[in-house]
Structure 1
Amino acid sequence: MKDFRSRIQNKIRDRISQARMFNSYIRGWTNYYCRFCPSALQPTLWSIERYLA
């Protein structure tokens, strides 16, 4: 049971570190597309969501 819990905790830590790493990039893309190409924002965010899920 300990091994199972540690694997789950490692996966959670990995997801959190990935979120921290990509958050600034995604925020930058969102700001760019909101300002210069708002019609392309929704498909871009859908692509990011599908990739991360």
Structure 2
Amino acid sequence: MKDQPSFLRTVGGFLSRYVPPPALTSFLVLLVAMVAVSYEVGSAVGPVAPGMLR
């Protein structure tokens, strides 16, 4: 670490402190993708019971 400029040490410290762990990021991306696919499939299929009243 002695031969790195202080700017790189502060950027590295900032990134390690404020960037979420890769596992959390991957989980959130997967969750958003699953919700998007579910929404598209639901839109394509249409209403489940069109004649049903509340």
TM range (shorter): 0.3 to 0.5
The structure where helix makes up a greater share of residues is 1
Larger Rg: 2
